[in-house]
């Protein structure tokens, strides 16, 4: 049975394989009644059922990995925020190279506990554990490089805190110091990059009577070879898993004994290498447990990807219209225009300024591909979907530009009915469309503009001689002036193959200018 209510026990019977392993390990272990109100866990000295249960819970439960990803994203974002606040950030990616034990001495029904993250139910390395080993590693590094720092007093080696140590780890007020100061170093919990695998390990004390301080014939039993070993089994994390260790260094304060941040960063980096690769973390480090190998000193690629996806998701929540902005920007043909306007998901955001701006820009790009009246009429003027945008100024401007280009290109075939159709389409937007006089001989769209002094000069030329005596600079003419001059040159037969060289040269120069404008 489990020491929980009946309803919870019934629920666990069906769902325990998908449960948080931390709850299974700490609260939902099955126990058996041995009489006289004595209870004992069914797995008291066997961890394989727990290893099997963990195999059901953690790897198959996507929630555990999701929580783990969120934890890394939160810590990475925290580091970025603190960096902007003036902190220095150190990140270490390290692989576990020997079994890892944590929480072996914690109170637990099986008498050997394990530290598990409350939210994910996965093993991790708590920040206080890291910081304690980091302090030790710093002391060892200091004595290794400066043996004089260690002194012998009363038969013991004593190390006196130096200024760098007190700056990093802080100090409290005492008889020599009136005020204490918080240390500059901040350590975050270290989590694995993926769901780690657990295994069963064994501790085999050969002298249980001696360790238990039992007596025999009134005397305490010693470590004799006639005692029966009682194997103690416990859970360990298998080697091979990668962890991320993050350490922050606060900006200097006025009371800091050492303010050289670069120097302190170097000391912390050395201490991290010593603590992870030499001293080890967790329990039984003297036997080689808890050793790591540092792989790099930056955020792992996986974490960067998780952070990017999390930010993208936040962007979608904060700016739900942004995907449709990108959708509109990717449109490159009229089919895309129609699909965009008919998409039900887009419809709710078609009034948003950013979406409208992106769509009208795409509309303008597609409108530039229209080459003749048939395309203009079919794709725009007679299309009911496009008509819904008649009142939009940007769309109307794009259509007017297209219509002017088509009319200019095919002005000999242009009719008043076409002008009327364009004018009616543009009317809801308030944009005017000037209908040409039926007798005009100039290309529409350009001759409609107000007269300029240069245009008046061209129209005033009476013959070729007048032009030669006071010519205009052809390279600087706009389209309206170029067309006006073209009309004059035709009257002077400059386009005739038998015309003089100067006339032919002027005609060719004007044709080149017309192609440009």
pLDDT value for 215:
78
pLDDT value for 490:
87
Q: What is the DSSP letter of 410?
A: T
pLDDT digits (tens, 9 = 90+) for 378-403: 988 998 888 888 888 888 888 998 89
pLDDT band for position 48 (cuts 50, 70, 90): low
Torsion angle of the four alpha carbons 441, 445, 447, 449, in this order, in degrees rounded to the nearest 10: 160
| CA 326 distance to own-chain centroid | 18
Is the pTM for the entire model greater than 0.75?
Answer: no
pLDDT value for 426:
92
- Checking if the pLDDT of 46 tops 70, the result is no
Beta bridge partners of 153: 156
Give the chain's mean pLDDT. Answer: 83
Q: Which two tokens stand for residue 28?
A: 């939902």
Please state which of the ranges 105-109, 151-155, 370-374, 462-466 shows the lowest mean pLDDT.
105-109
* Cβ(336)–Cβ(367) below 8 Å: no
Characterize 415-451 residue by residue with b for buried, 16 or more Cβ atoms within 10 angstroms of its Cβ, and e for exposed. eeebbebbbebbeebeeebeebeeeeebbbbbbeeee
CA angle centred on 67, ends 63 and 69, rounded to 5°: 115
pLDDT value for 449:
45
Helix (H, G, I), strand (E, B) or coil at 490: helix
pLDDT value for 146:
78
Overall size of the chain counted in residues: 517
Average pLDDT over residues 82-108: 90
- Checking if the pLDDT of 505 tops 70, the result is yes
- What is the rounded CA–CA span in Å between residue 508 and residue 202? 98
pLDDT digits (tens, 9 = 90+) for 161-182: 888 998 999 888 776 667 788 9
pLDDT band for position 21 (cuts 50, 70, 90): confident
pLDDT value for 185:
95
- Checking if the pLDDT of 45 tops 70, the result is no
Helix (H, G, I), strand (E, B) or coil at 181: strand
């Amino acid at each position: 049975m489990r020491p929980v209510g009946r309803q919870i026990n019934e629920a666990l019977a069906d769902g325990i394989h998908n449960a948080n392993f931390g709850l299974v390990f700490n609260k939902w272990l099955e126990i058996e009644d041995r009489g006289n109100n004595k209870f004992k866990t069914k797995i008291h000295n066997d961890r394989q059922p727990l290893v099997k249960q963990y195999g059901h819970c953690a790897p198959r439960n996507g929630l555990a990995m999701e929580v783990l990803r969120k934890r890394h994203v939160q810590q990475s974002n925290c580091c970025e925020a603190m960096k902007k606040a003036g902190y220095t950030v150190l990140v270490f990616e390290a692989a576990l190279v020997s079994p890892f034990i944590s929480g072996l001495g914690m109170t637990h029904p099986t008498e050997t506990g394990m530290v598990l993250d409350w939210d994910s139910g996965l093993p991790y390395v708590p920040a206080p554990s890291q910081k304690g080993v980091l302090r030790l590693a710093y002391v060892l590094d200091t004595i290794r490089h400066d043996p004089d720092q260690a002194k012998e007093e009363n038969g013991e080696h004593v190390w006196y805190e130096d200024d760098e140590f007190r700056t990093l780890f802080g100090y409290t007020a005492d008889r020599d110091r009136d005020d204490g100061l918080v240390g500059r170093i901040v350590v975050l919990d270290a989590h694995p990059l993926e769901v780690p695998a657990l295994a069963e390990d064994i501790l085999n004390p050969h002298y249980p009577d001696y360790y238990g301080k039992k007596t025999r014939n009134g005397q305490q039993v010693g470590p004799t070879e006639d005692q029966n070993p009682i194997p103690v089994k416990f859970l360990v994390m298998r080697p091979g898993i990668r962890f991320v260790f993050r350490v922050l260094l606060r900006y200097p304060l006025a009371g800091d004994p050492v303010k050289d941040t670069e120097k302190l960063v170097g000391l912390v980096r050395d201490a991290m290498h010593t603590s992870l690769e030499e001293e080890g973390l967790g329990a039984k480090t003297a036997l080689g447990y808890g050793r790591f190998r540092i792989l790099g000193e930056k955020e792992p690629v996986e974490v960067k990807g998780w952070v990017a996806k999390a930010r993208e998701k936040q962007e979608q929540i904060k700016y739900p219209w942004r995907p449709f902005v990108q959708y509109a920007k990717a449109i490159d043909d009229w089919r895309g225009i129609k699909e965009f306007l008919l998409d039900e998901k887009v419809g709710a955001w078609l009034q948003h300024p950013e979406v409208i701006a992106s769509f009208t820009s795409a509309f303008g790009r597609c409108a530039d591909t229209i080459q003749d009246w048939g395309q203009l009429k079919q794709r725009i003027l007679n299309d009911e979907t496009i008509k819904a945008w008649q009142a939009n100024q940007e769309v109307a401007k794009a259509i007017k530009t297209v219509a002017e280009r088509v009319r200019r290109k095919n002005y000999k075939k242009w009719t008043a009915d076409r002008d009327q159709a364009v004018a009616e389409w543009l009317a809801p937007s308030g944009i005017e469309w000037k209908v040409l006089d039926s007798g005009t001989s100039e290309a529409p769209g350009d001759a409609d503009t107000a007269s300029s002094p240069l245009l008046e000069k061209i129209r005033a030329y009476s013959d070729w001689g007048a032009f030669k005596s006071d010519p205009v600079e052809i390279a600087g003419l706009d389209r309206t002036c170029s067309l006006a001059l073209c009309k004059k040159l035709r009257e002077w037969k400059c386009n005739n193959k038998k015309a003089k060289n100067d006339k032919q040269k002027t005609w060719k120069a004007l044709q080149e200018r017309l192609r440009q404008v």
